[in-house]
C-alpha cells in the first residue's frame, strides 16, 4: 500500500500568557485547584483580532519551511477546528488565502472536536493509500478563548488557544501514518457541546469516557499496526488533563516518562493539541527522527481515535 512521510511540522501560540493566578482575580478559583485537578499552570490566549486561520497560517508556514515546500506545493489542506466564529466557509479556505495559495487545491475542515486532527490524519492516510494526493497539509487551530464563558469556572480554566501543523508527503516506502483508527458515539452529545457559541460540559462523565476510550483505541491501533507498546517511543495523548493522560497511559501499560505532556503550558487546545504538543516536544529535543509516536485523542461527539506515526 502507498504511504507517506512526515516531512514538516510546526506550532504557533499567541503572545499573551494567562496563568492560573491571573484567573483567580476573574472567577472563584485557585491555582492549587486547577493544577491539582488538571496539571494546567497557564494557557496562551489570542488577541481579539487574531483568528483561527491566522494562527493556522503561522504554524503551517513553520511546517512548510521545515519540509522545504511552498504553499502551492500542497495539493490538499485539511483543517481540524471547532472554534472559528464563521459558520462557513471552512477555516481551511481562509487558511488557503492567508498562505497565498493559488493552485486551487481542495481545502476543508474536519469538525471532530479534540479528535479532529486524528480524523484528519485518517483521511490523509486513505488519500495517500489511494494515490490521490501527494502533499497534504493538516492543521489543527483553535481559538477556544472565544468559546468560553469567562464566568464559568467549570470550563474556562481548562482551555487555551494555539495551532499545530503537519506536512505529509507521498512516499512509496513511506510509513508516516502507519495505522489509524477513528470512532464516534453520538449518544453522548450532551456531555460536551457548545450552545450559542459557549462550551458546556459534564466534566466528571467526560473524564471517565476519555480515560476508557483513549486507552482502548490506543491498544486497538497498535494491534492494527502489528506493534506492541515496546515498539513505541512516545505516547502523545490529547492534552486535556494530566490525570486523564496518566490514567490512560497506565491502563495501556505505558510508562509516564514516555508520555509527551505540555498541558501545563498550553492547556487544552482541542483540535490543535496533539500537533502542537508534538512540535513543541520536538523543538525541545524530545522526539527525534526515526521514532514512533502513538497519538491518541478523545473529544466531544463523542469522538475518539488514534494513529501510529513515524517521524
> Which residues belong to the active site?
114, 238, 268
Least distance (Å) between residue 203 CB and ligand COA: 3
Helix axes 242-252, 31-38, angle to 10 degrees: 20
- Report the residue number, 8 or 218, with the smaller CB distance to ligand COA: 218
Residue 214, C-alpha cell as written in the block: 483513549
Beta partners for 144? none
> How far is 267 from 45, CA to CA, in rounded Å?
10
Least distance (Å) between residue 33 CB and ligand COA: 4
- Chain positions 210 to 229 lying near ligand COA, rule: CB under 6 A, are 210
- Report the residue number, 71 or 299, with the smaller CB distance to ligand COA: 299
Site string for ligand COA, 173-212 (x = CB under 6 A): ----------------------------x-xx-xx--x--
- Report the residue number, 40 or 76, with the smaller CB distance to ligand COA: 40
- For ligand COA, the binding residue among 114, 272, 279, 281 (CB under 6 A) is 114
Least distance (Å) between residue 306 CB and ligand COA: 14
Least distance (Å) between residue 205 CB and ligand COA: 8
- For ligand COA, the binding residue among 71, 237, 299, 305 (CB under 6 A) is 299
- Report the residue number, 215 or 268, with the smaller CB distance to ligand COA: 268
Residues 6+ apart with CB under 8 A from 125: 4, 177, 180, 307
- Residue with CB nearest ligand COA? 203
- For ligand COA, the binding residue among 146, 154, 171, 291 (CB under 6 A) is 154
HEC assignment per residue over the chain: CCEEEEEEEEEECCCEEEEHHHHHCCCCCCHHHHHHHHCCCEEEECCCCCCHHHHHHHHHHHHHHHHCCCHHHCCEEEEECCCCCCCCCCHHHHHHHHCCCCCCCCEEEECCHHHHHHHHHHHHHHHHHHCCCCEEEEEEEEEHHHHCCCCCHHHHCCECEEEEEEEEEEECCCCCEEEEEEEECHHHHHHEEEECCEEEECHHHHHHHHHHHHHHHHHHHHHHHCCCHHHCCEEEECCCCHHHHHHHHHHHCCCHHHECCCHHHHCECHHHHHHHHHHHHHHCCCCCCCCEEEEEEEECCCEEEEEEEEC
- For ligand COA, the binding residue among 240, 242, 259, 311 (CB under 6 A) is 240
- Report the residue number, 96 or 266, with the smaller CB distance to ligand COA: 266
Q: Which stretch binds ligand COA (CB under 6 A): 92-100, 120-128, 153-161, 181-189?
A: 153-161
Residue 81, interface with ligand COA (CB under 6 A)?
no
- Chain positions 8 to 67 lying near ligand COA, rule: CB under 6 A, are 29, 33-34, 37-38
- Report the residue number, 88 or 204, with the smaller CB distance to ligand COA: 204
- Report the residue number, 105 or 157, with the smaller CB distance to ligand COA: 157
In this structure, the chain runs to a length of 311
Least distance (Å) between residue 63 CB and ligand COA: 24
- For ligand COA, the binding residue among 141, 239, 241, 303 (CB under 6 A) is 241
Q: Which residues bind ligand COA (CB under 6 A)?
A: 29, 33-34, 37-38, 114, 153-154, 157-158, 201, 203-204, 206-207, 210, 240-241, 268, 298-299
Amino acid at each position: 500500500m502507498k504511504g507517506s512521510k512526515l516531512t514538516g511540522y510546526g506550532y504557533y501560540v499567541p503572545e499573551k500568557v494567562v496563568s492560573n493566578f491571573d484567573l483567580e482575580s476573574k472567577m472563584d478559583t485557585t491555582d492549587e485547584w486547577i493544577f491539582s485537578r488538571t496539571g494546567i499552570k497557564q494557557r496562551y490566549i489570542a488577541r481579539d483580532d487574531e483568528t483561527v486561520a491566522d494562527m493556522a497560517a503561522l504554524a503551517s508556514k513553520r511546517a512548510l519551511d521545515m519540509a522545504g515546500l511552498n504553499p502551492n506545493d500542497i495539493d490538499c489542506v485539511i483543517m481540524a477546528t471547532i472554534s472559528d466564529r464563521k459558520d462557513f466557509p471552512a477555516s481551511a479556505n481562509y487558511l488557503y488565502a492567508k498562505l497565498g495559495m493559488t493552485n486551487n487545491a481542495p481545502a476543508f475542515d474536519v469538525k471532530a472536536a479534540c479528535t479532529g486532527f486524528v480524523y484528519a490524519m485518517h483521511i490523509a492516510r486513505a488519500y495517500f493509500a489511494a494515490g490521490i494526493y501527494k502533499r497534504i497539509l493538516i492543521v489543527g487551530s483553535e481559538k477556544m478563548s472565544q468559546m468560553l464563558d469567562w464566568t464559568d469556572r467549570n470550563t474556562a480554566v481548562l482551555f487555551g488557544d494555539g495551532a499545530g501543523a503537519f506536512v505529509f508527503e507521498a512516499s512509496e516506502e513511506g510509513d508516516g501514518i502507519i495505522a489509524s483508527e477513528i470512532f464516534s458515539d453520538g449518544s453522548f452529545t450532551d456531555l460536551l457541546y457548545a450552545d450559542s457559541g459557549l462550551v458546556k460540559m459534564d466534566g466528571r462523565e467526560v473524564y471517565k469516557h476519555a480515560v476508557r476510550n483513549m486507552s482502548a483505541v490506543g491498544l486497538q491501533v497498535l494491534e492494527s499496526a502489528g506493534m506492541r507498546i515496546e515498539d513505541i517511543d512516545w505516547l502523545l495523548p490529547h492534552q486535556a488533563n494530566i490525570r486523564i493522560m496518566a490514567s490512560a497511559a497506565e491502563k495501556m501499560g505505558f510508562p509516564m516518562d514516555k508520555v509527551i505532556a505540555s498541558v501545563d503550558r498550553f492547556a487544552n487546545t482541542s483540535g490543535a493539541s496533539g500537533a502542537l504538543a508534538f512540535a513543541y516536544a520536538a523543538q525541545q529535543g524530545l522526539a527525534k527522527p526515526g521514532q514512533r509516536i502513538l497519538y491518541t485523542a478523545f473529544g466531544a461527539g463523542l469522538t475518539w481515535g488514534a494513529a501510529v506515526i513515524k517521524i
